[in-house]
Amino acid sequence: MRRTLPLVLLLMFALAAPANAHFGMVVPDVNIVTKDGPRSVVLDIRFWHPMDNQGMNMEKPRLEVFAKGQKQDISAALAPAAIDGKQAWTARQQFKAPGVNVFAAIPQPYWEPAEKKFIQHLSKTVVCVMGGDEGWDKPVGLKLEIVPMAKPFALYAGNAFTGKVLFKGKPLANAEVEIEFFNKDGALKAPDEAYTTQVVKTDGNGVFTYAAPWAGWWGFAALTDDDARIKHDGKDMPVELGGVIWVYFHPLPGK
């Protein structure tokens, strides 16, 4: 008993410890491509704890871009990248014409044994190219997605971002939306575990609002159980979907 009791206590503490959220990430090096600068973006694609800046391996996803009502599969542009020993991906996209471009990374569902379910994050971001700014408020047809209701490439730190969560094209009421800052250089530390992943809920119309307190990339992940099942060890198991959008908040001028 003396030998097993400490192990039991350690296990209990491990199970009781809060688990920080993983986010599907598709983050460009810039969210606005100007006429005078490089006419391309480089995408950082990973499955990560954004605030803690730790992650897990990500199998090669499908990468799509939506522009002017057209969808293009650009998965061939994906190149493997190792980040802190974890498998991640990168891709460069060139632009020839102005317009809003929405990038979406769609990975295969992965089995999470601790939760006894599959998890799949459908992640996207919006890039304004050479002044084209129409269509940022349109869904792109992901099974679960956050549609911006505030222009997602024109926000200052402190501005509020409003989004509408759609599941199979219909508003998802009373859904949890997890929010984390991409603490890329690890400079920030949350005052308590409770602050790492912030949570808001959608209203009856699937709408939520959150004001980002400081500049940088922020991830919003709407969560719901899918109506589909995937077999694991011969049994139909549940699937949790995450509809994720990454939004950049610009520093205030002069600060």
pLDDT tens track for 219-242 = 999 999 999 999 999 999 999 999
The residue-averaged pLDDT of 87-96 equals: 97
Domain residue spans in the chain?
A: 20-250
Mean pLDDT in residue range 90-113: 96
**pLDDT-derived band at 13, boundaries 50, 70, 90:** very low
Q: How many residues does the chain have?
A: 255
**Per-residue model confidence (pLDDT) at position 14:** 35
pLDDT recorded at residue 8: 39
Q: What is the CATH number of domain 20-250?
A: 2.60.40.10
Among 71, 73, 70, 136, which Cα is nearest to 100's?
136
Give 136's contacts (C-beta < 8 A, 6+ positions apart): 100, 102, 126, 128, 148, 151, 152, 153
Q: Tell me the average pLDDT of the chain.
A: 92
What percent of the chain clears pLDDT 70, i.e. is strictly above it?
A: 92
49 pairs with which residues across the strands?
54
pLDDT digit string, tens, across residues 33-68: 999 889 999 999 999 999 999 999 999 999 999 999
129 vs 175: CA distance, rounded Å: 32
Backbone φ and ψ for 167, nearest 5 degrees, come out as -115, 115
- Separation of first and last alpha carbons in the chain: 60
Distance (Å, rounded) from C-alpha 229 to C-alpha 179?
A: 26
